[in-house]
Amino acid sequence: MLLLAGIVGLLASASLRPYRYLGSAAVLVGAFMFASHGRAHYAMGLYALLIGAGAVTLSRWRPARPVTRGVVYGFIGTVTVASVAMAVIRLPIVSEAAAARWFAWAGGMGPTMLAEGDHSTEAFRQVARDTYDSLSPDVRNRTALVVQIYPMAAAYDVEAGRAGISRAYSFHRGYYYFGAPPESMTDMMYVGVDDPDPKLAQGFRGVQRIELLHAAGEDEAHVYRYYGRIAPWQQLWDDWRTYK
């Protein structure tokens, strides 16, 4: 609510006229995010500005009619109470065990959702680690571990850094900027939540799917080994780069 009030205040309030350009900038950034299929949290840097402007706008606004004043203030109170309740229920303020016990009635809207998000990459990280470690040392030394999406790559690299083992690579979103594998690596092991794009195979002489055993209820990881690279890594990296 304060975000909306901030935009309206910056664009329409006479007292905030000197800062009108900030309102226009916020609208343009929001429109760009929408047009480019961005995510809501990409614009979080604007939230403090708009919330502050919204607070100033609402504090200076005095509805003339008592009925209007009552409706507006009642709405503000309801939204405030709902926001506080939602924060208490959904944020990881208490332990996972306490959250599951106290907020079980909230189902998927409860704090266990965030906890599950923290653990969602563990199975894939373990699959990547076990499969990569199963390679013989000479094959592993020439094989780059490439992970489909950046959360999985980041989760793997956290453990890799602690264990002192080779890092993972990913051409997904910002992880692209951490670089392509070195030219000394001629093979690639791909681990993802989906089957790889067929164009990945165009950079290698051959590809082999690695079959994995999965317990009931587990998400299936897709693992492929590509061998005999025939193009420079950076060329492949630029061609494979994904934003979605």
Residue 199's CB: how many other CB atoms inside 10 A?
10
Predicted TM-score (pTM) of this structure = 0.65
Residue 112: inside a domain: no
- 83 and 127 inside one domain: no
Written as tens digits, the pLDDT of the chain (244 aa) is: 788 888 989 998 888 999 999 999 999 998 888 887 777 777 888 889 999 998 898 888 777 788 877 887 888 888 888 888 777 777 767 676 777 777 777 666 666 555 566 666 777 888 888 888 889 999 999 999 999 999 889 988 988 888 888 899 999 988 999 999 999 999 999 999 888 999 999 999 999 998 875 544 455 788 999 999 999 999 999 999 997 7
Residue 184: inside a domain: yes
Measured CA to CA, the distance from residue 244 to residue 240 in angstroms comes to 12
Measured CA to CA, the distance from residue 157 to residue 133 in angstroms comes to 14
SS (H, E, C) 87-148: HHHHCCCCCHHHHHHHCHHHHHHCCHHHHHHHHCCHHHHHHHHHHHHCCCHHHHHCEEEEEC
* Number of domains the chain is built from: 2
Structure tokens at 205: 């002489």
Which of 94, 111, 146 terminates a domain? The answer is 94
- 132 and 233 inside one domain: yes
Residue 108: inside a domain: no
Residue 219: inside a domain: yes
Measured CA to CA, the distance from residue 194 to residue 206 in angstroms comes to 19
- 42 and 131 inside one domain: no
Domain limits for position 201 = 119-240
- 157 and 212 inside one domain: yes
- 86 and 6 inside one domain: yes
Residue 113: inside a domain: no
Residue 105: inside a domain: no
- 86 and 148 inside one domain: no
Residue 202: inside a domain: yes
Residue 111: inside a domain: no
- 131 and 85 inside one domain: no
Q: Distances in Å between the alpha carbon of 65 and those of 32, 58, 73, 136, 227?
A: 38, 16, 12, 79, 75
> In sequence order, which residues have a C-beta less than 8 Å from that of residue 197 and are 6 or more positions away?
240
